[in-house]
Structure 1
Amino acid sequence: MFNNKTIRAKLLIVSITLLLLPSLVIGTSAYFSSKKNLDTTGEKTLKNGVEMALQIIDALNQKVEDGSMTIEEAQEQARVYLIGPKKADGIREIKNTIDLGEHGYFNAFNEQGIDVVHYSDEGDNSWDVKDANGKLFVQEVIKKAQNGGGFTIYEWKLPSNPDKTGEKIVYSALDPNWGWVVAAGTYKMDFNAGANQVLVIVAATIAIATIIGIAVIIWFTNSLSKPLHLVTQHVNRLADGDLTVEPLHIKNKDEIGALANDFNVMAANMREIISTVEHSIQQVGDSSQNLSAISEETSASSQEIGSAIDEIASGTAKQAEDAELSNKKVAHLSTQIEMVKELNEKMTTQSQAANDASQSGLAQMTSLQIKSEEANELSHTVLEVMNRLSARVKEIESIMSVIHTISDQTNLLALNASIEAARAGEHGKGFAVVAEEVRKLAEQSSEATGDVRQTLTGIMNESEQALQAIEQSQLLSDEQTKAVSDTKYSFELIVDSIHEIISSINEVNQEVQVMATHKNEVLTSIEHIAAISQQSSASTEEITASMEEQLRAIATIAEAAEQLNEAGDELKQKISKLKIH
């Protein structure tokens, strides 16, 4: 966008920018520098005021310790010094001995947040008081005092306009004697009044300097832009072909004046050159027209002779080319026929080998199928045997249960016999011995029965596992048998396909033999035709070459004459647009 403006507009923009930019930078820097310095000075005033208040409290506390006054009297004097005496309505009149700004004053809290010194809220608890942003600033003031002193900034409503708030800054420190948190605070705007005056002065200075500078810049740009505008008008007329433009009269002694003088010299030189070129063009046009007419007559005669010879030569050359091309194609075809023949022989051999391999594979698959069926039958037999064995083991388990029951009953009978023998006394001792032996035999029979049952249980568990494994093996055997059957069927299809391929290859081989015989006969005929055509073409080419050389020379002359004539016409048209008289 800036590139489309005139030089006068560009000079105005750049000059005004260079005028305003430093003024704005200097004015802004001065305003912020003075504002910062005033803020620093105000903070020092608050801090010095608090330190002086602490010294006064310390001096009053010395009097309390000396006994010259009570602590209540000393604290009241401190309040009067920091703020002022209390009026009848309980509010103290602010009479600061230290200038803390228009709205600045002292106050003090104890460490629980109660106002021990305040112009209106003395005795109130301000611990939970919040500013406009919800900040518990009293707690922060006390905390910073306990940590050695510091500044607290918060938002508070303005005395002149309670609907608005402003930044307030407070410095606080802890008095070690009474435990007071002494604070001095005011609004930051009280510090910045001087900076605002600096801003007004700077703005006024920039405005006056800008008005004067713009006037000077406009005068300066006019002194440059008007001569340049006049030169631009003359250059545009010259660019449009008007060489009758009058000389420039510019009195500037700078580069613009030199540019005007150079323009006048250039316009005069161009008028002289164009007049000379116009005269030369007329002479060149006349000569080129004569040369062009002679060339056209000679070229017409030569072309009539050449066209007749060209027809003969093109026919002979075409015949020779066709014969040569046919010869090459037949020779190439011969090579391909031989290659096809060799490939057919290889395919026949490979097909026969594939057939033999397929037959062998089919025989092996048949044998594998028989073996797989035998293994499958054997798996069925083993499965039946394991099922019968499992049934026999279960029968044995039933018999062992009967034996175990008999053993328990025998043991019970032996116990009853022992009881009866004991009742019989001396007469039953022999019977008691027999009963004891029977009981022992019953216990041994029961233990043996338990061992046999445990063994049978293990045999049954292992039989179950073996039976499951055999069933799984049977499933795998069935799948294997099916896969072998499918593979055998695939081999049978492959064998059938190979038989068909061998039959087709034999038929192709017979046709290739016939093509090879016919190829040799065609190749011999084409070689004879090609030899005759080449002889005729060679004789015709010698005649044609001589005629073509002569035609090229005449055509070159005619073309040069035509180009010269066209160049003269074009130059004449361009010069006719220029005004030199």
Structure 2
Amino acid sequence: MISRFQSVGTKLFLIFFISIVTFVLTVGLVSYNISKNTISSQVSKASLQTVVQASEKLDFMFRDFETISSQIQTNTELMDQMWKLLYFEVDQDERVAIHRKILSSMNLLLHSNPNAEGIYLLNEKGSFGTSNQKIPTQFMEQDWYKKTIEGGGKFFWLAPRERGYLGLGKENTQLFAVAQVLKNSLNETVGVLLIEFDANLLSETLDKVKLESGNVLIRESSGQVVASTDPSFTDQVASLKLDEAEGQFSIKANGMEALVVYKVSDVTNWSLIGFIPKQFLYAEANYIFRITVLCAISAALLAVVIGYLIVRRVGRPLIQIRDLMQTGAKGNLTVKSDHRSKDEIGQLGNSFNEMIEKITSLISDTSVLAGKVLHTANEIVSGSDKTSTSAKEIAMATESIASGAGTLAEEAMRSNEITQNTQLQLLSVAESNSEISASASEVMLISNEGIHHMSNLMTDTYTAEDTLRTMADKMGRLQESTGSIEKIIQVMEQINNQTNILSLNAAIEASRVGAAGKGFMVVAQEMRSLASQSRESIQVVSGIIHAIQEEITGTVSSFLESRQIYSAQVNAVKEANAIFQSVHDSMEHVISKLGDSTLLIQQLKESQTALGESIGNVSAVSQQASAVSEEVASQSSEQLKISRELVGLSTQLKQLSDALKESLSKFKISE
């Protein structure tokens, strides 16, 4: 049974209802948000303009207050009198007169500006002002006084304080002030001028600033609130950070959103801040929201009425057709739909009637066919029994064939394994033969290289032998030359001896002649000295020649010995060359034999391969025969199994035919 919430009518009703309500709410909420943003933007601009104008008015007022200080500063007579009274010794009468004149000027300025509450000149040497009370000296320890002194002529605006900054004001009176250093015409500091004003002036000015249900306050740069129209907003605004000269932004404080607009004063550096709760800004937008809610409720009621009509128009005919289908499902095929409209529901009723008619015809035809199927099932049961008997006989014969083919296949596989092992051994022998052939080729290459090197060595040996023979001849001639040099030295020694004797005879003859032979005596002495030097040089050369001759003799002897050794080495080289040639010839013979062996092994390998292929073919044929036999046996068993299943299926078909006839008898196809 379908629940009410699952019916088509209910679904149509919910779709229509949700669509209308969603559309109305979407349009209303979009309009509400657009109007809210527009109002917020317009109010923000207007509020910022109002705050800017109010700040400019305050700056004009503050500049007017600063002119009081300028008037005193430009009054040189008054400044000189103050300077004289503070820093010079004057008699009492003159002091009193100057003091009265100063106070008179200050009172005149005070009365000319009704907003001023007091004017004071503060100095460590003395202070005076418009108040009748004595000015305390504690001001020198206060921060505002020190900052004013350090400012050097700059105006310092001071936030309201109870009874003012000197404590000379009235009870329960808030006074704000401006302070400035005064200097005379010589640019010498006279003192600090302090002018105090009633703080109610600021409150009255703020009350004139009209914002949309908002609050306005003045704040110092340090965060201290100077004046406010509503003290409850002081804590929220005191900590705000203002980065520009003017601007606007939104904040959230105490669970409430608010718009903040501000303007920083160019004179006092105080900030005029407007604080507007957004709930007042959105009052008109909330009216749009309430209208949207009312429209949504009206649309919901209208959707309920229209949805009811849709359910009545669509849901009920569908329920009637559903009931007819359930009746037909129980076996009563005589039911018909009487809905005759031309819409989709009427077409559905006509289609239902056509379906019932076709089902009735189908059941009649099926009843006839069921009888024929029952007869055919009986014939199939008889044929299946015969097929099962034939399949048993075929299976037994096939099993015998498969057994013989399997034995043949096993023998062929065993022969194939032996052939493969033999082939592997031949491959191993062929690989070994190839390795030996490669080694022999390497040896042959090495022997060729050795023969080449031995040939070069013998050529070099013959060349060296010719060189040694030439050197031996040159050594003999050199030895003969040293003998000739020795003979020449002997001749030179004889000449030297004769020269020495000649010089001695010349000296004797010169001594006989006397004075006339003194010159000849000198020549004889020089010749004797030259003969002595020649004898010494000949002896040295003779010793050197004798040493060279001994060295040459030893060299010739050593050379002859090495020549014998070198001859033996030449013979050894010739023998080694003969050995390399013999190895080369032997390797050529071995390589030739290995080539013949490799050829025979290759032929044997091809024969083994052909034998293995033949055995493999026999094995394959045997395996195929065995596989075919097994497949035939399997098919025979399968056929036997199928025959048995066919018998069972034929029996089931007979039973199903009976059941079908019984089921068809339940349908009512005529009145």
TM-score normalised by the shorter chain: which range applies? 0.3 to 0.5
> When you count strand as a share of all residues, which structure comes out higher?
2
With normalisation by structure 2, the TM-score equals 0.41
Q: Which has the larger radius of gyration?
A: 2
With normalisation by structure 1, the TM-score equals 0.46
